[in-house]
Amino acid sequence: MSKEKFPEFVELIKNKGKLFGPVKQKEKYSYEEIKDYSELDFDFQRTIISPKKFITPAKYTTLRFVKFGQTEVLPDDEPQIVMGVHPCDIHAIKILDRLFLGNIKDPYYAKRRENLIIIGHSCLPDDKCVCQSTGTDMVEDGFDLFLTELDDFYLLWVGSDKGLGIAIEAENLLEENVSEEEIQEYVRWQQERSSMFTTSIPSYKYLADIIHLNYDSEVWEQFGEKCLSCGTCSLVCPTCNCFHVDDKIMMNAEEGIRERMLDSCTLPYYSMVAGNHDFRPDRTARLKLYYTHKLKEYIGRWGQPSCVGCGRCIAYCPVDINVITVSNALFEEVCETQEVCDQ
């Protein structure tokens, strides 16, 4: 598809439901509702909040109740389309899908996911992108459509039946034949992109072992002392999905709602159970849980770690505790000499 046709393509998608896309506001990017093509801005690395906000929103009502009855509140049916989703975030959605749509389906997630159309967009890395290390810099599925942006044209990849439907509808805007030069340009672009990554997670392939060997390391204490327990890491992480449930009774004391809101394992009472027993009263233990769960325990349960290298923790932790600083510190801890570390 040539770039001139792109606004028309966006118009066509807009008819399918509520359109969201990356919008620049001051220094930050976020996925906002798009009324006009001109609001879209694809020149970005990451939004503060990942597209998880479309499937596990920060706060929503799941139930309404009165004194002697209740009604479940399911999300509405209107399709939501999100444009400009980068490969890492698509991988994150795949991880969330496995969790929420596995043996026990979460009805709220399932409904939102069913109504979500994901239109991926290619990107170029900055110094915070570590998706090459985590192997999530490329994506083959998990999207409906994916646009690779090259100099004068887009390559449009179809990833689902829904996506195919849109592509067929947009037939007039698309060119079926991709020329030899265009393929060459794509390959060159991919090669160039791969060479642009400047940051990597050390020893990512055996990081789980490093974490295991370092379970009682003092490194955790050092990070625990620094951690503000503010929960930002969990809320910006595209795969963090823990939630907290609270019932709210209205002022008339006759009716109420049940709310589900995003939570973080770094918050003080996260591991509190009945009888006021708290398994992780100190920050160090909670931070250790965050990183061991994400980078190690997840592998045993789901076959891969739940880090997609999006760089949000690197960009948004106010005290520099992130997947790079933590893995670096742990790696250095087990290196006998600096030479081993450098290898």
Partner 1 sequence: MWQREKKPVVGIFGFSGCAGDQLAILHMEDSTIDFFTSADIKFFHMAQSHQEVPKVDVAVVEGSINTERQLKELKEIREMADVVVALGTCACYGGIQYLGEDVETFKERMEYVYGKSGEVPEFLDLVGQPRPAQPISEYIDVDIMIPGCPISAENFVPIYTKLISGLLPQKYPMPVCVECKYEGNDCFLLHGKYCLGPVTAAGCNATCPSIDISCIGCFGTYEGANYPSMIDKLKEIGLSEEEVIRKLKLFGGNKVEQALKGD
The binder of partner 1 chosen from 18, 30, 39, 126 (CB under 8 A): 30
- The least distance separating partner 1 from the CB of residue 297, rounded to whole angstroms, comes to 23
The least CB distance from residue 262 to partner 1, in Å, is: 7
Instruction: Please work out the total of residues on this chain that contact partner 1, with binding judged by CB under 8 A.
Output: 41
* Residue 188 interacting with partner 1 (CB under 8 A): no
**C-alpha–C-alpha distance, residues 296 and 294, integer Å:** 6
| 183 is an interface residue for partner 1 by CB under 8 A | no
* 3 state SS of 104: coil
Residues 189 to 248 in contact with partner 1, rule: CB under 8 A: 225-232, 235-236, 244, 246, 248
Please report whether residue 277 would count as binding partner 1 according to CB under 8 A.
Answer: no
Residue 318 interacting with partner 1 (CB under 8 A): yes
Q: Report yes or no: 59 and 259 within 8 Å, Cβ to Cβ.
A: yes
Specify the residue, 182 or 255, whose C-beta has the smaller distance to partner 1: 255
**Helix or strand or coil: residue 31?**
strand
Nearest to 236 by CA among 48, 8, 88, 31: 48
Spatial neighbors of 42 by CB under 8 A, at least 6 apart, are: 22, 84, 121, 149
Instruction: Give the tokens for residue 147.
Output: 């646009």
CB of 276 to partner 1, least distance (A): 10
Among 14, 16, 24, 53, interactor with partner 1 by CB under 8 A: 53
Q: Classify the C-alpha dihedral 334-336-341-343 as positive or negative.
A: negative
Q: What is the dihedral of CA 338, 311, 110, 67, to 10 degrees?
A: 100
**3 state SS of 19:** strand
Q: Is 283 in the site for partner 1 (CB under 8 A)?
A: yes
Under the binding rule (CB under 8 A), the answer on residue 316 touching partner 1 is yes
Residues contributing to the site for partner 1 (CB under 8 A): 26-28, 30, 48-49, 53, 58-59, 67, 225-232, 235-236, 244, 246, 248-254, 256, 261-262, 264, 267-269, 283, 315-316, 318-319
